[in-house]
């Protein structure tokens, strides 16, 4: 199979291709793959069928240190950090084009690694990662510095400079895309990068770093150290020569990074963490069927392993029963299947361990009195794999664990409410604040709630929409800092004042 086929490949094509993939398994430093200093490896297991795909080098302190030294030398050398923005743009546009050209290979790696349906890794994850690199490339030679309105005897400029060596620690749910939201603007701004992918999903990160160098990013500017969180991730967080860490992952681990910064060099830390997003449907929603579909996809897309999943569905009591019936019918149509089959919409979850954790949340919800309306069990869609039925609970009280804890699986909590004030109160009763959705025909209400709900994003009459033009990120214990849009450069650049006495 060619890297970019003219006709859409079939399940058999993907399966055949998966057997002849050349999987990169080393640590990528200074433009070359190598073993971990310790010689240790870890098994990369596909949740599709439990097969071991590769043994990946398990980086730790020594490897992170080598990667940081390489990144520092590249940064100080200036071949990238001091390159004219228009020249960086050209290299990054070529990098984006290489990602597109390797779309099928990267999509297959992603699907094998985390079990997401190939139709989405091929049409969502990989193209959006390429778009992100291209979008940031296009922006970087259009950003101007500022001249301050000082006394005429002074010329004061406010410059945006790259931060330096940027550590990136990312999760497994959209492995390449979450990384691209970080390395796209970071590279465009002239930083050097050390990326640690999640141990569940190292494959695409290793391949794209190689593509970056092929495109012309100087060796040492983009390094990848696969490994575990408590070893490689922690080493990056504690390293005294890392200037900034951009993290996406759980709130628990996000807090560790704040501690690591305090224990080491007070590096900047930016956090994109968990969510328990409210999706609110008022009785005056203009199209209940559209709301049902959005509510269903809002929780079942990517098997619910989405930080902004609409995992708390607040439904106004007068339409509650009708809405739940429609949702059950929607869930019944979402049958988990082989992720390599292009028709599959619901793939596996990321691992057997994660499947067991999801089932644990389901059991707790049952015991706490929630009513199981659909699903509730693991299924063997492919022998040896890790699959979960789409699951709907009604009768959920917002204080129950199911409404407060992030399940990160295809499990929906339906919560009834009576009026607008109660909906806002429930929506805001969460430690998280990533996203919210609401369905209403009342324009005034949509404006009121968009202001009152404490989250980084509010969708009205849609869910999970957006593109590179708008920021993504949250408030409260979801974290701070934004990915996407020109605001991402607030993280990857720092301001310098240069005050020149002209006389
Ligand atoms: P996680 O926090 O377990 O792991 C994320 C990364 O941190 C991984 O690379 C992991 O190896 C590393 N890590 C783990 N323990 C560490 C430690 N002690 N020190 C340093 N690094 C460590 O999260 P996950 O299970 O990979 O991903 C799911 C989480 O990510 C969910 O909470 C989800 O909401 C969140 N997420 C948030 C966003 C967002 O934009 N807000 C996007 C995607 C995912």
| CA–CA distance, 405 with 432 (Å, rounded to integer) | 10
> Is residue 234 within 6 Å of ligand 1 at its C-beta?
yes
Distance 152 CA to ligand 1 centre (A): 50
Q: Give the ligand 1 atom nearest the CA of 198.
A: 9
Report how far ligand 1's centroid is from the alpha carbon of 197 (Å). Answer: 10
Q: From 114, 171, 276, give the residue whose CB has the most ligand 1 atoms within 8 Å, as the site to mutate.
A: 171
Nearest-atom number in ligand 1 for the CA of 434 is 41
CA-based nearest residue to 109, from 208, 233, 232? 208
What is the reported pLDDT for 265? 98
The residue from 210, 272, 373, 406 that is catalytic is: 272
Closest CA to 241 of 492, 82, 69: 69
> Hey, what domains does the chain have and what are their CATH numbers?
11-273+479-497 (3.40.605.10), 278-467 (3.40.309.10)
Query: Comparing C-alpha atoms, which of 306, 296, 315 is closest to residue 350?
Result: 306
Instruction: Determine the residue of 229, 234, 432, 457 to mutate for testing ligand 1's pocket, defined as the one with the most ligand atoms within 8 A of the Cβ atom.
Output: 229
Strand order in the sheet with 32-34: 32-34, 27-29, 222-224, 192-196, 165-169, 244-248, 268-272, 479-480
In a mutational test of the pocket of ligand 1, which residue from 181, 205, 253 has the highest number of ligand atoms less than 8 Å from its CB? 253
Evaluate: CB of 246 within 6 angstroms of ligand 1. no
Buried b (16+ CB within 10 A) or exposed e, 57-71: bbbbbebbbbbbbbb
SS3 per residue for 285-322: CCCHHHHHHHHHHHHHHHHHCCCCCCCEEEEEHHHHHH
Distinct helix (H) and strand (E) counts, the chain: 17, 24
Could you tell me if the CB of 434 is within 6 A of ligand 1?
Answer: yes
- Report the separation in Å between the CA atom of 248 and the middle of ligand 1, taken as the mean of its atom positions: 6
Residue having the nearest C-alpha atom to atom 38 of ligand 1 = 307
What pLDDT sits at residue 7? 74
Q: Which of 307, 373, 406, 420 is catalytic?
A: 307
Q: Which of 125, 250, 353 to mutate to test the pocket of ligand 1 (most atoms within 8 A of CB)?
A: 250
- pLDDT (0 to 100) of residue 351: 98
User: Is 272 tagged catalytic?
Assistant: yes
Check: pTM over 0.85? Answer yes or no. Answer: yes
pLDDT averaged over 10-residue windows placed end to end, the chain, 503 residues: 64 94 97 98 98 98 98 98 98 98 98 98 98 98 98 97 98 98 98 98 98 98 98 98 98 98 98 98 97 98 98 98 98 98 98 98 98 98 98 98 98 98 98 98 98 98 98 98 98 98 93
Q: How far is the CA of 351 from the centre of ligand 1 (A)?
A: 15
In 436-469, which positions are buried (b, 16+ CB within 10 angstroms) versus exposed (e)? bbbbbeeeebbeebeebbbbbbbbbbebbeeebe
Q: Please name every residue paired with 45 in a beta bridge, in sequence order, or none if there are none.
A: 52
Cβ of 229 less than 6 Å from ligand 1: yes
From the list 93, 72, 67, 91, the residue with the least C-alpha distance to 206 is 67
For residue 492, how many C-alpha atoms fall within 13 Å in the half-sphere facing its CB?
28
Concerning whether 273 is annotated as a catalytic residue, the answer is no
Atom 11 (ligand 1): residue with closest C-alpha?
Answer: 229
Q: How far apart are CA 478 and CA 228, in angstroms?
A: 22
pLDDT at 4: 47
Query: Ligand 1: does its nearest atom lie under 6 Å from the Cβ of 471?
Result: no
DSSP state of 481: -
DSSP annotation of 139 reads H
Tell me the two tokens of residue 403: 């409404």
Exposed e or buried b per residue across 400-410, where buried means at least 16 C-beta atoms within 10 angstroms of its C-beta: bebbeebbbbb
312 pairs with which residues across the strands? 278, 413
Q: Which element (helix H / strand E) includes 114?
A: helix 103-114
Q: Which tokens hold the place of 315?
A: 């439904």
Q: Are 346 and 303 in contact (CB under 8 A)?
A: yes
- Which of 321, 202, 239 lies closest to 62, judged by CA? 239
């Amino acid at each position: 199979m060619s890297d970019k086929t003219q006709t859409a490949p079939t399940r058999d094509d993907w399966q055949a291709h998966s057997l002849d993939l050349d999987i990169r398994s080393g640590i990528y430093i200074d433009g070359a793959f190598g073993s971990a200093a310790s010689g240790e490896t870890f098994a990369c297991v596909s949740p599709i069928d439990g097969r071991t795909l590769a043994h990946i080098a398990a980086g730790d302190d020594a490897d992170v240190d080598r990667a940081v030294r390489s990144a520092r030398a590249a940064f100080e050398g200036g071949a990238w950090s001091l390159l004219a923005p228009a020249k960086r743009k050209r290299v990054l546009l070529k990098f984006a084009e290489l990602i597109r050209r390797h779309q099928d290979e990267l999509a297959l790696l992603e699907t094998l690694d985390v079990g997401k349906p190939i139709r989405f890794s091929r049409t969502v994850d990989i193209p959006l990662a390429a778009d992100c690199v291209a979008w940031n490339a296009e922006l970087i030679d259009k950003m101007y510095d500022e001249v301050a309105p000082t006394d005429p005897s002074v010329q004061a400029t406010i410059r945006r400079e790259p931060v330096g060596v940027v550590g990136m620690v990312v999760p497994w749910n959209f492995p390449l895309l979450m990384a691209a939201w970080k390395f796209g603007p970071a590279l465009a701004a002239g930083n050097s990068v050390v990326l640690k992918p999640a141990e569940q999903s190292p494959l695409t990160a290793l391949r794209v770093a190689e593509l970056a160098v092929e495109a012309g990013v100087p060796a040492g500017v983009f390094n990848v150290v696969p490994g575990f969180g408590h070893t490689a991730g922690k080493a990056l967080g504690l390293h005294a020569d890392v200037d900034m860490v951009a993290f996406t992952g759980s709130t628990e681990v996000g807090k560790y990074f704040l501690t690591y910064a305090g224990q080491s060099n007070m590096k900047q830390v930016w956090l994109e963490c968990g969510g328990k997003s409210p999706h609110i449907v008022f009785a005056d929603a203009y199209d209940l069927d559209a709301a049902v579909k959005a509510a269903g996809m809002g929780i079942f897309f990517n098997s619910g392993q989405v930080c902004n999943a609409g995992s708390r569905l607040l439904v106004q009591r007068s339409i509650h029963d009708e809405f739940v019936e429609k949702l059950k019918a929607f869930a019944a149509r979402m049958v988990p299947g082989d992720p390599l089959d292009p028709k599959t919409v619901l793939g596996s979850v990321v691992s057997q361990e994660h499947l067991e954790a999801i089932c644990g949340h389901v059991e707790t919800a049952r015991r706490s009195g929630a009513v199981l309306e659909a699903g509730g069990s693991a299924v063997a869609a492919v022998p040896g794999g890790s699959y979960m039925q789409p699951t709907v609970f009604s009768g959920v009280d917002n204080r129950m664990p199911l409404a407060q804890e992030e399940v990160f699986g295809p499990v929906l909590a339906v919560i009834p409410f009576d009026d607008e004030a109660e909906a806002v109160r429930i929506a805001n009763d969460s430690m998280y604040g990533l996203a919210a959705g609401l369905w209403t025909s009342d324009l005034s209400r949509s404006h009121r709630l968009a202001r009152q709900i404490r989250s980084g994003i509010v969708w009205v009459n849609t869910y999970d929409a957006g593109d590179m033009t708008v920021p993504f990120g949250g408030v409260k214990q979801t974290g701070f800092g934004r990915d996407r849009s020109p605001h991402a450069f607030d993280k990857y650049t720092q301001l310098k004042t240069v005050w020149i006495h002209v006389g």
